Structure 1
Amino acid sequence: MENDGARVDAVERETEALVMTETTRDISAEEVCVLIPTLNEAATIGDVIEGFHEHGYTNVVVVDGDSDDDTREVAREHGAQVITQSGDGKGQAVREALEYITVPYVLMVDGDGTYDPADADAMIEPLARGYEHVIGNRFADMDDDAMAALNGFGNRLINRSFRFVHGAEYDDILSGYRAFTTDSFERLSLDSDGFTIETELAVECVKHGVDTTVIPISYSARPEESETNLHPLKDGGTIVLALYSLAKTNNPLFYFGSLGVAGIASGGVIAMYVLWQWVQYQQGHEILAIVSAAAILLGVQLLMFGVLSDMLVTLHREQRRRLEQITRNARERDDD
C-alpha cells in the first residue's frame, strides 16, 4: 500500500526539477554550517574538522553528547564551535544545535571519519538548484570493510521497507551525511532523540513535500581507534518500529490497514477453529466465537478508518500545495 500523496507528487517533482535547473545560484561556504553530532569521537573529530577546513568550510559546529573522552577539547583546538547538548541522543543533539545556527544551509555529518569532506561541494550543489534536502548515498562508493554484512543487510531491508511503506525512493535513508536548508528543517515535526533521527528526517521530507534528492558519496571504514555507538540489532529494531509508527500520519492506509487485515485474519482463524470443532465434535465455543466476531469487526473498522484517514491526508496535501503555490505567486508579485 504505497503512499498516495507520494505518487501524486511524482509528476510535480519532475516538473519542479526542471524549474530548479533554471534557478541555480551560487552558495558560498560562509552560508553553510557543518554540523557534527558527537559522542566519544576524540580519535577522529580533529581530522574531520580539518578536512572540512581544507575544503573551505570553516563554520563548524560540534554538538557533543557529554563525551567522557577529549572530544570537546580536540574540537575546540581545531577551531570548531562546541555545544554540549542538554539532553541525550543524536536526534536531540541535532534539534538543539539548529537553534544556534544562523546561516541558511546546514551540512550534517557524523564525526567518526567515515564520510569524506571532499564530498561537501557535491552535497551542497543540489541546494543551489532549489532542492531543500540532500541525502548522501553510501552504497554508491563504499569500502569493502566499511559495513558489516549484518549491517548491510539491515540497511537494505530498512530502505526497501521505507520505499514500500512511505512510497519514496531515497536509496539510503540511514545515511548520516545530509545537506538541507534551515527553512525546510523548521517545517519538519521532529521528536526523535536517538539514531532514528535519519529515519524521521526521511519520513518527514515525504510527509511535508520537502524537495529531496540523493547523490552518490564515498563511505570508508571506521578507523580502528574509533568505537561505534551503534548497536545493530537493538537500534535496527528501533528503526523498523519507527518506520511503522511514523506511517500513522504519513501513510495511514498502510498503518491502519495492516492492523485491520491482522484483526480480520486472526478473527478468521479463530472462526475456522470454532467451525471445525462444531462440525467434527459438535462442541460449541461461544466465548471463542464472540472473540472471533469482535476481532473481525475491529479489523473491518480499522480498515475503513485507514481509508478515510488516507483520504484526509491526501486532501490536506493538496490544500498545502495550493497554499504554497499561492504564497510563491504572491512573493513573485512582490518581487516584481
Structure 2
Amino acid sequence: MPEVIEDPTIAVLLPCYNEEVTIGKVVRDFREALPDAVIYVYDNNSTDRTAQIAAAEGAVVRKEPRQGKGNVIRAMFEDIDADVYVMADGDDTYPADAAPSMVDKVLEGYDMVIGDRLSSTYFQENKRPFHNFGNRLVRDSINGLFHAQVTDIMTGYRAFSFTFVKTYPVLSHGFEVETEMTIHSLNNNLRLYEMPIKYRDRPAGSVSKLNTVADGIKVMSTIFRMIREYEPLPFFSGLGLIISLIGVILCSTVTVEFIRTGLVEHFPTLIGAVMLVITGLLLIITGIILDVIAKNNRKNFLVQTNYFSLIHKGKNI
C-alpha cells in the first residue's frame, strides 16, 4: 500500500513558447480544477506577452533560456519540489478538469499517469494527417519492441510522482521528450496508468510549434537511440546475425567453387566474407556485454528510486 500523504503539495507545470492567445485561460482552468496547486509557467524565450499574461493570472513565471521543450522540462524537474506534478501544454488542448483524477492516481501509487488522447477525440480534433500517422507509427513501434500496450506514447498531458521526477534523466532537448519518458518508464518497469482525456485542437490564432517532419525525425532518432541503449542484446545481436549470415552465404559460394574446381578464384570475396562473419560475431559479443551493463543500470536505478522515495517519506513524516 502506498503511503497516505496528508495535504499533498501539487505543482502544475506549463512549458510555454509564444502562447499569449491561450495561456490566460489555461492558468484559470487549472486554478479552478486544482485550487490548492501552485501553477508554474516556464517561458521559453517567448517573443509575445505569454509571461506577462501568466503572471497577471497568478502563475509563478520563470524563464528558461535553453530553447526546446526537453530543456524546459529538465529545468522544471530540477527546480520544483512537490508530492504530485501535473504537466500540460499552454495551448489549451488538454482539459484541466481531468487533472484531479490524475492526481488521485499518483497518490494511489502510480509513478506516471498518461493523459490518453488517442482513445477519445484526438483523431477527430487533430486536422494534421501526418501527426496522426506519426502517433500511430511511434506507438506501434514502441509497443512492439517493449511488449507493451501503451495507447498514447507522445501525449504532453501527464502526472508524476516525486520519485519519478527526481530520478528521470531528461536527455532530449525538444518535443521527443515525451517519447523518451514513455520508453524510460517501460524499460524500468514503472507503474503507469493511462486515463482517456478529451483532446481539443488549438483555438483560432494559436499556432503549433511542432514541425511534423523535423520533429518526427527527432522522435524516431530518439526511439532508435533508446532501443540501442535499453535493449542492446536484441539490437546488436540481431544486426550481428544478419551480417554474419551474409558472410556465411558468401563463404558458401566460395566453398562450393573450391569443391567443384579445387581452386579459390575469388579471394576478395572470401576475405570480405570472413570479415563479415567476424564483424557479426563481434556485434553479438558487444550486445551481450552491453546487456549486462543495461541490467546493472536498472539495478542502480532501482536503488536510486528507493533512496528518493525514502527522502520523500521523510519529508512527509
TM-score by length of 2: 0.85
Partner SS for 1:150: helix
Cα distance in 1, alignment partners of residues 93 and 139 from structure 2: 20
Contact 1:253 1:309 in 2 (8 A): yes
| Deviation by residue 1:172-194 (Cα, 9 ceiling, x = unmatched) | 11010010023222212221111
Query: Paired residue for 2:226, among 233, 243, 246?
Result: 246
Cα distance in 1, alignment partners of residues 297 and 275 from structure 2: 32
**Amino acid paired to 1:204:** H
Alignment match, 1:297: 278
Contact 2:244 2:276 in 1 (8 A): yes
| Deviation by residue 1:51-85 (Cα, 9 ceiling, x = unmatched) | 11121344111111101111111111111111110
For the structure 1 residues 69 and 265, does the alpha-carbon distance in structure 2 shift closer, same or farther, using more than 3 Å as the test?
farther
Query: Paired residue for 1:118, among 97, 108, 113?
Result: 97
Query: Paired residue for 1:80, among 38, 46, 59?
Result: 59
Cα distance in 2, alignment partners of residues 292 and 224 from structure 1: 61
Partner SS for 2:78: coil
**Amino acid paired to 2:70:** G
Using the TM superposition, give the Cα deviation of residue 309 of structure 1 relative to its aligned residue in structure 2, in angstroms.
3.2
For the structure 1 residues 242 and 44, does the alpha-carbon distance in structure 2 shift closer, same or farther, using more than 3 Å as the test?
same
Cα distance in 2, alignment partners of residues 51 and 32 from structure 1: 15
Alignment match, 1:68: 47
Query: Paired residue for 1:185, among 161, 165, 181?
Result: 165
1:164 aligns with 2:179: no
For the structure 1 residues 328 and 218, does the alpha-carbon distance in structure 2 shift closer, same or farther, using more than 3 Å as the test?
closer
**Amino acid paired to 1:291:** G
Using the TM superposition, give the Cα deviation of residue 316 of structure 1 relative to its aligned residue in structure 2, in angstroms.
5.7
For the structure 1 residues 327 and 60, does the alpha-carbon distance in structure 2 shift closer, same or farther, using more than 3 Å as the test?
closer
Partner SS for 1:98: helix
Contact 2:153 2:178 in 1 (8 A): yes
**Residue ranges of structure 1 left out of the alignment (5+ in a row):** 1-18
Partner SS for 2:198: strand
Alignment match, 2:32: 54
1:90 aligns with 2:69: yes
Query: Paired residue for 2:12, among 34, 42, 61?
Result: 34
Query: Paired residue for 1:214, among 156, 179, 194?
Result: 194
| Deviation by residue 1:121-179 (Cα, 9 ceiling, x = unmatched) | 12112111111111111112115132522211211110111112233332211010010
For the structure 1 residues 270 and 195, does the alpha-carbon distance in structure 2 shift closer, same or farther, using more than 3 Å as the test?
farther
Cα distance in 2, alignment partners of residues 327 and 110 from structure 1: 27
For the structure 1 residues 266 and 221, does the alpha-carbon distance in structure 2 shift closer, same or farther, using more than 3 Å as the test?
farther
Cα distance in 2, alignment partners of residues 94 and 197 from structure 1: 8
| Deviation by residue 1:236-268 (Cα, 9 ceiling, x = unmatched) | 121111111112332111321233234235545
Alignment match, 1:104: 83
Query: Paired residue for 1:260, among 219, 223, 240?
Result: 240
For the structure 1 residues 271 and 152, does the alpha-carbon distance in structure 2 shift closer, same or farther, using more than 3 Å as the test?
farther
Partner SS for 1:195: coil
Cα distance in 2, alignment partners of residues 287 and 246 from structure 1: 37
Aligned residues: 310
Using the TM superposition, give the Cα deviation of residue 323 of structure 1 relative to its aligned residue in structure 2, in angstroms.
9.2
For the structure 1 residues 324 and 177, does the alpha-carbon distance in structure 2 shift closer, same or farther, using more than 3 Å as the test?
closer
Partner SS for 1:218: coil
Alignment match, 2:120: 141
Alignment match, 1:7: none
Tell me which moved more, 41-50 or 289-298: 289-298
Cα distance in 1, alignment partners of residues 307 and 23 from structure 2: 45
Query: Paired residue for 1:199, among 179, 185, 191?
Result: 179
Cα distance in 1, alignment partners of residues 220 and 249 from structure 2: 27
For the structure 1 residues 26 and 310, does the alpha-carbon distance in structure 2 shift closer, same or farther, using more than 3 Å as the test?
same
Partner SS for 2:65: coil
Using the TM superposition, give the Cα deviation of residue 318 of structure 1 relative to its aligned residue in structure 2, in angstroms.
5.9
Contact 2:119 2:151 in 1 (8 A): no
Tell me which moved more, 202-211 or 268-277: 268-277
**Residue ranges of structure 2 left out of the alignment (5+ in a row):** none
Cα distance in 2, alignment partners of residues 96 and 156 from structure 1: 29
**Amino acid paired to 1:164:** G
Cα distance in 1, alignment partners of residues 91 and 309 from structure 2: 40
Cα distance in 1, alignment partners of residues 200 and 43 from structure 2: 22
Alignment match, 2:153: 173
**Amino acid paired to 1:174:** M
Using the TM superposition, give the Cα deviation of residue 321 of structure 1 relative to its aligned residue in structure 2, in angstroms.
5.5
**Amino acid paired to 2:50:** T
Cα distance in 2, alignment partners of residues 61 and 301 from structure 1: 50
Using the TM superposition, give the Cα deviation of residue 88 of structure 1 relative to its aligned residue in structure 2, in angstroms.
1.4
CA-atom RMSD in angstroms: 3.2
Alignment match, 1:5: none
